[in-house]
Structure 1
Amino acid sequence: MSRVGKAPIQLPKGVSIDIAGSKVAVKGPKGELSRTLHPDMAINLENGVLSVSRPSDSRQHRSLHGLTRALLNNMVTGVSAGYSKILLIEGVGYRAEMDGKRLVLYVGYSHPVYFEPDNGISYTVEERGRKVTITGIDKEYVGEIAARVRKQRPPEPYKGKGIRYEKEIVRRKAGKTGKV
């Protein structure tokens, strides 16, 4: 059996779940998420413990087992605690700032780049415009927005300038060497 798939999910206090066939809605203190999962996977809720079971040991059912459990766990964690991604901005003159609720990036272009918050996403800027935190309840969507922000100026390998994730390691290259 899948090690991930057979692990039960404990529902934290304040989180309720509604299962209607293959559609699952999770409600918690931070918000509400719903998702349609594969109809072959059986989702059971007993005494505040959520479990996923599969009908057979076919290759497709084995792969869907762990995936379904992971998606459910991400939904439960998102509505109870939330998710965040931290981006670091490096480079002379590169910075971020807030204009109301939207994020403004100054990353070496002749114009600023704007990001509007949508679908429960919020931005915060810290450390004099060098650290951007993106928060939300949907793990997949928070990662998508963080990737879009990073795509504006990915880190380059010579000086390391650009936007990178907090724990991302940028492989540095040696520059030109002089004549000997």
Structure 2
Amino acid sequence: MSRIANAPVELPQGVTATIAPQAVTIKGAKGSLSLPLGHGVSVVQSDKKLEIKYSDPGLARMQAGAARAHLANMVRGVTKGYEKKLELVGVGFRAQVQGKTLNLTLGFSHPVNFPIPEGITI
């Protein structure tokens, strides 16, 4: 049986949490993220920790564990940010940035051009 919801989420220096009745917003140096909470799940802030509470041992307990994991990932996202590394394996496969477009040569008869979204750095 998982006990993920019982562990508090630490808020590092420079990270703030705003708790509404059915949502939590985390703000930090790299932006702001919001999480809607399921029915029967609530969040309580004490000092620099967020504690997840749930009302019944059924569905709300499962949702509380998921909410705790999401909140921990949100704190990581607003402090360190997210990073995804792409490894191209194959002869002639390559990726180039041309202005605001990512040009991928992946073995098709044509290059794949992907517009880079705002806020994404390559």
- The normalised TM-score by structure 1 is 0.63
Structure of higher RCO (CA pairs closer than 8 Å, 6+ residues apart): 2
Residue of structure 1 in register with 2:67 after alignment: 68
Residue of structure 2 in register with 1:118 after alignment: 117
- TM superposition shift of 1:56: 1.4
Letter in 1 for 2:60: H
Aligned residues: 122
- For the pair shown, which has the larger CA radius of gyration, 1 or 2? 1
Q: Supply the RMSD in Å over aligned alpha carbons.
A: 1.5
Residue of structure 2 in register with 1:56 after alignment: 56
Residue of structure 2 in register with 1:128 after alignment: none
Unaligned runs of 5+ in 1: 124-180
Contact 2:44 2:50 in 1 (8 A): yes
User: How big is each residue's C-alpha offset from its partner over 1:94-153, in whole Å with a ceiling of 9 and x where there is no partner?
Assistant: 100111233210001122112222253332xxxxxxxxxxxxxxxxxxxxxxxxxxxxxx
Contact 2:39 2:60 in 1 (8 A): no
Where does structure 1 differ by over 3 angstroms across 4 or more consecutive aligned residues? none
Letter in 2 for 1:7: A
How far, CA to CA, are the matches of 1:120 and 1:32 in structure 2? Answer: 13
Residue of structure 1 in register with 2:38 after alignment: 38
- The normalised TM-score by structure 2 is 0.91
Secondary structure of 1:5 counterpart: helix
Contact 1:21 1:39 in 2 (8 A): no
